[in-house]
Amino acid sequence: MFYSHTFLAKKGPLGTVWIAAHLQHKLRKSHVAVTDISSTVDCIMFPEVPIALRLSGHLLLGVVRIYSKKVDYLYHDCNEVLSQMRTMFASVHVNLPEDADRATFQAVTLPDTFELDALEFDTQYLE
């Protein structure tokens, strides 16, 4: 099968995927962030020009590597936010009374029969 060299050029639609498949160490975070996985897979599955099955396999390997990098970056960002939240809330001191460590059963449970007519709403916001 044939394929266009512009199809796999560095600035082409699948250039980043080709680099991810064959030159993974040259893949940058900006390349990974810009790549849209769904449109790239559509471009591989339904190409403008016919491509060989082996080439489509290599390109799908590149898509998997890009997706893996995206997951790694997301995992790293989530862990960073979590650690920042832990350090932020570790320094917060809460002064609660001694008996405030437990709530009553009625405070956290809804009644068996919930009557909406018994609730009183402020009607000034409804008008």
Q: How confident is the model at residue 95 (pLDDT cuts 50, 70, 90)?
A: confident
Q: Which domain range does residue 70 map to?
A: 4-80
pLDDT digit string, tens, across residues 114-126: 777 776 766 665 5
Please state, in angstroms and rounded to a whole number, the distance separating the CA atoms of residues 19 and 31.
10
When divided into structural domains, the chain yields a total of 1
The answer to whether residue 40 sits within a structural domain is yes
For 28, the 3-state DSSP assignment is coil
pLDDT digit string, tens, across residues 1-44: 456 666 677 777 788 898 899 988 888 999 899 999 999 999 88
The answer to whether residue 46 sits within a structural domain is yes
Q: What is the pTM of this model?
A: 0.66
pLDDT at 123: 65
The answer to whether residue 93 sits within a structural domain is no
Residue type, 62: G
The answer to whether residue 96 sits within a structural domain is no
Please state, in angstroms and rounded to a whole number, the distance separating the CA atoms of residues 3 and 7.
7
The answer to whether residue 38 sits within a structural domain is yes
Q: What is the DSSP string of 24-65?
A: GGG--HHHHHH--HHHHHHHHHS-SS---HHHHHHHHHHHHH
The answer to whether residue 90 sits within a structural domain is no
